[in-house]
Amino acid sequence: MLLFKKRFLDAIRRGQKTQTIRLWKHRRMRPGQRSYIPGAGYIRIEAVEQVRLDALTDDDARPDGFETADQLRAELARLYPDQPSDGHQAYRVVFRLLPPEEQKKRLP
């Protein structure tokens, strides 16, 4: 499950927010995995890659719902104040919201 602030849910449902940057000690998701976003629905993980926060560009920030990389980094610093110094790495998780017919499918 991926949790998001309520302000991002409409953009996720509209397909405008298609990625998130998460700080983890190790990769927690893999491409092809199905996951759930409360308030938005089921998603398919398209890619998970380690990134350097200082190398993120404005183009990297837009699919995450931010206009600039500086805004994205500021939000990450607010959400994860201790993680970068505690051995956490940044991962870009690219996802797509599953269409309604796939939302209802049960996993085997």
In this structure, what CATH number is given to the domain that contains residue 15? 2.30.130.30
Residue 104 inside a domain? The answer is no
What is the radius of gyration, based on Cα positions, of the chain? 14
Residue 83 — very low, low, confident or very high, per pLDDT cuts 50/70/90? low
What's the CA gap between 33 and 51, in Å, rounded? 20
The reported pLDDT for the residue numbered 23 is 93
Does position 67 have pLDDT exceeding 70, yes or no?
yes
How many domains are contained in the chain? Answer: 1
Residue 43 inside a domain? The answer is yes
If we measure between CA atoms, which residue out of 92, 94, 100 comes closest to residue 40?
A: 100
CA distances from 41 to 13, 17, 47, 59 (A): 8, 13, 18, 26
The reported pLDDT for the residue numbered 33 is 96
**Token pair belonging to 28:** 């927690």
For the beta carbon of residue 22, count every other beta carbon within 10 angstroms. 20
Q: Worst-scoring range by mean pLDDT, 7-11, 25-29, 76-80, 82-86? A: 82-86
